A and B are shown apart, each in its own frame.
Chain A
C-alpha cells in the first residue's frame, strides 16, 4: 500500500516537472532598433513584433535562402545585395526566376522602419507584408506562400530557428513574415560622412565643394528628399517622361486617383553612389544624367537652374551619403555558419 502511494507521488512529481517545463518560456535576447539622435519616430509598431537576436537571425537566414523560390535558385539577396545597399546593381529592370525580366528597378532596402508604404507605387501597406510580393510574382521567386511554409516546416534547420525565435518550431506565414521584418528593420544606414558632419564627429569634415553641394541640395531637392532620411515618405512626380514600353502609372495603379498618375515613392538617396541605375525603371546610369534631368525645362513645377559646377557640387555632396559601416557590416551579410 505504501509503495503504491509512493509510486503515485513519483508519477505526479514527474508529471508536474513536465508541466512546468512545458509552460516555461524560452528566453530571447532583445535587440532593439538603433534610432539615431535627431531622427523622427519610426513608423513600424515594435510592440507587435519585438526585435530579438533570434528573430533577426531567422530573418537573415530566410533572406539569403534560395529555398524560398520555386526552383530554389533565387533568394531575396539575388536582387538585394549588401555591397550595393541592398539593391540589384547594374540592372535597369530586376530579373528573377529563369531570367525573366520584371517591370521595375529593384529598390534599395534601408531605414525601412521609417517607411509607411513600400514599393515604387506604395502598393504594399506594411513592411511585414512586403515579402509576399516577390515570393508570389511569377517573374521573381514564383512560389506560393503555402508551399514556402511547407518547405520551411520540412527543414530541420528552420525548426530550430523558428523555435529559438518564437518559442514554437511550427513555421507559419505570420512568423515567417515577422522574421523577415526583424532582419530588414535592422538594415539602417546612419554613419556616412554626412552623418558625421551633422554630428560634428571625426571623419565628418566637409570640403568647400561638399558644403556648397549640401546648400544647393537643401534649396532644390530637400522638399522631396528630406533629411535625415532623404525622403519625405511621399509619392511625388519628378517629371520623368513616360517610358511607352512600360506605361507605368505609378501610384495611380493603387489609388486610381488621377492626381496620382506618374507619382512614385520618393526614394532615399543614402548610398546613392552604389544604387545605380536610377529611377523606378533604372533609366539613368549616372548621377550627372539625373541632375541633367532635373534641370530640364518641364521636369518640376518650378524649374531648377544649376550651372555645370553646381551640378558637380551636388554630386560631390551626394557621395558623402556613402556609409561603409553599413555596406560592410558583417551582421547583414551572407550567414556563414
Chain B
C-alpha cells in the first residue's frame, strides 16, 4: 500500500464508521431480564441463580428480501451475559427494513475446532476451550439451585463437541416475519433484538439429576437441542 493511501486510511479511521444498526442480545428468564444474584423459578418449579453464562454466536448472516446475503465480518462473537459490552454487535451497511431472515450458529463449527491457535474471541485464553479433549465450549451455563445436591448446590453445563456423532454446534434461523415487535424502540434505535430466554432451556431439564454436563456426548447433544429454542427476534415493524 502506498504511503499516501495509508495516511488517507489513517485519517479516515478518525471518522468512526456510523454503525447503521446493531444486533442486541437480550438475555431473559421468562419476562425478567437476567441479572446476577437474582433468583428465578423455572416452569419445573426449581429456584435458579446464575453465576456465569457465556456462549458463541458464529457465522452470522443476514438474508435480505432481494435474496442477497450479507455476512458478518467477524467470524465468532463470544457473548457474556454479565458483560454488557458483549451484548451489542454492530452491523454495518444493513438496511433493517429489508431484512428477511437472520442465520447464525450457536457454537463453533468443526473446521474452526481443528484449526489450531486462533485469536480474538476464539483465543483459548477466553476460557471457552477444553484442554484435555480439544475443542471449543459452545455454551457455558453455571449457577446454583437448592435442587442440586452438589457441592454448594452448583450446576454446570459446558456444552461442546465437534466430532460426529456428538457434534453439538446448532444452526439457528429466525425469520423477521415472526419477530415480536419492539417494545423499547427508544432505547435501541434501528436495532434487531435477539432475545435469549433461558427459562426455555431449564423448562426441559431436570436439574436435580442433570446438573453437571462437562464433556461432549449424548447429554450435551440433548442440551444443545434444547438451547436453540431459547432464541427469538424482536425487530422494528414498519
Report which A residues bind B (CB closer than 8 A).
16, 19-20, 23, 45, 48-49, 119, 123-129, 132-133, 135-137, 144-146, 149, 172-175, 177-178, 181, 253-256
Contacts and interface: CB of A to CB of B under 8 A. Distances in A.
A125 B134 contact: yes
B135 A137 contact: no
A256 B10 contact: no
A125 B118 contact: no
Q: Say whether chain A's binding surface is mostly helix, strand, loop, or mixed.
A: helix
A128 B116 contact: yes
B84 interface: no
B117 interface: yes
B131 A137 contact: yes
Nearest to B124: A173
8 contacts: A20-B3, A124-B133, A126-B116, A149-B125, A174-B117, A174-B119, A178-B116, A181-B117
B17 interface: no
Given A19-B6, A19-B10, A136-B131, A172 B119 contact: yes
Given A20-B3, A45-B116, A178-B117, A172 B123 contact: yes
Given A133-B131, A255-B163, A125 B114 contact: yes
Contacts of A49: 116-117
A236 B133 CA distance: 19
A255 B7 CA distance: 53
A126 B115 contact: yes
Contacts of B116: 45, 48-49, 126-129, 177-178, 181
Interface of B: 3, 6-7, 10, 113-119, 123-127, 129, 131-135, 163, 166, 217
Given A133-B131, A254-B133, A128 B125 contact: no
Contact of A173 (B6, B117, B134, B135): B117
B64 to A, nearest CB: 33
A48 B116 CA distance: 9
Contacts, number: 83
Contacts of B129: 129, 132
Nearest to A256: B217
A172 B125 contact: yes
A129 B133 contact: no
Given A172-B123, A173-B124, A123 B134 contact: yes
Given A123-B133, A255-B163, A145 B115 contact: no
A135 B124 CA distance: 12
A78 B10 CA distance: 48
A317 B114 CA distance: 37
Contacts of A172: 119, 123, 125
A174 B134 CA distance: 15
- 8 closest A-B pairs by CB: A173-B125, A177-B117, A128-B116, A128-B117, A125-B134, A132-B131, A174-B119, A173-B123
A4 B129 CA distance: 58
A145 B134 contact: no
A129 B134 contact: yes
A149 B126 CA distance: 11
B172 to A, nearest CB: 25
A49 B116 CA distance: 10
A145 B132 contact: no
Contacts of B217: 256
Contacts of A144: 127
A137 B131 CA distance: 8
A270 B14 CA distance: 58
Contacts of B115: 48, 126
Contacts of A177: 116-117, 124
Contacts of B131: 124, 129, 132-133, 135-137
A146 B125 contact: yes
Contacts of A178: 116-117
Nearest to A144: B127
A73 to B, nearest CB: 20
A174 B124 CA distance: 7
Given A20-B3, A256-B217, A132 B124 contact: yes
Given A19-B6, A132-B131, A178-B116, 18 more contacts: A19-B7, A123-B134, A124-B132, A125-B114, A126-B115, A126-B117, A129-B124, A133-B131, A137-B131, A145-B125, A173-B124, A174-B118, A174-B119, A174-B123, A174-B124, A174-B125, A175-B119, A178-B117
A166 to B, nearest CB: 11
Q: Choose among B117, B126, B132 the residue with the greatest number of A CB atoms under 10 Å from its CB.
A: B117
